[in-house]
Amino acid sequence: MTSKQIQALVYATALGDGMPAHMASLIQWQSQHETDDYTSNAFKKNNNLFGYKVFSGSKWQTGKGITSSEGDPYASYASIEDSVHEPTAWIKRRQHKGQFPADLNKIVTPQDYAIWLKACGYFGDTVGNYVSGILHFKNKDTLV
């Protein structure tokens, strides 16, 4: 599968999971950032688009994948779509708990998105670095 085909699949899956179009784009760019444009070992070996580690209760993870640099296993997914379902469900759980905007149209920019993700403990990097990574792929996007 080409990068462009994976981008389209990520976008379509996020839309199918009920994400508005702008959020589906943010999730697509996030997946490119997290996998270095779908070249990471976690993606190539485990269909893991977002760097998720194994956790109990996930209905999409199929088990342990390769070991991360932190020494714990990345989650393995049966498909790209299953990997996309993980963060969309994560967002919906945070919405239900009042930790993410009920109206996702309030998240407009990559910075807005990164601030919400960081506030919920999604990533350990700085917001600025995470935004830069998402913007890098937004600016290269030919699907928009």
Distance, CA of 72 to CA of 113 (rounded, Å): 26
Q: Rounded to an integer, what is the distance from CA 83 to the centroid of its chain?
A: 8
Q: What is the pLDDT of residues 100-112, one digit of tens each?
A: 999 999 999 999 9
Run of H or E including 137: helix 127-140
Please report how many Cα atoms fall inside a 13 Å half-sphere around the Cα of residue 65, on the Cβ side: 25
* 140 — pLDDT class (breaks 50, 70, 90): confident
User: CA 14, 19, 21: angle at the middle one, nearest 5?
Assistant: 90
Entry pTM = 0.93
Q: What is the pLDDT of residues 57-111, one digit of tens each?
A: 899 999 899 898 888 899 999 999 999 999 999 999 999 999 999 999 999 999 9
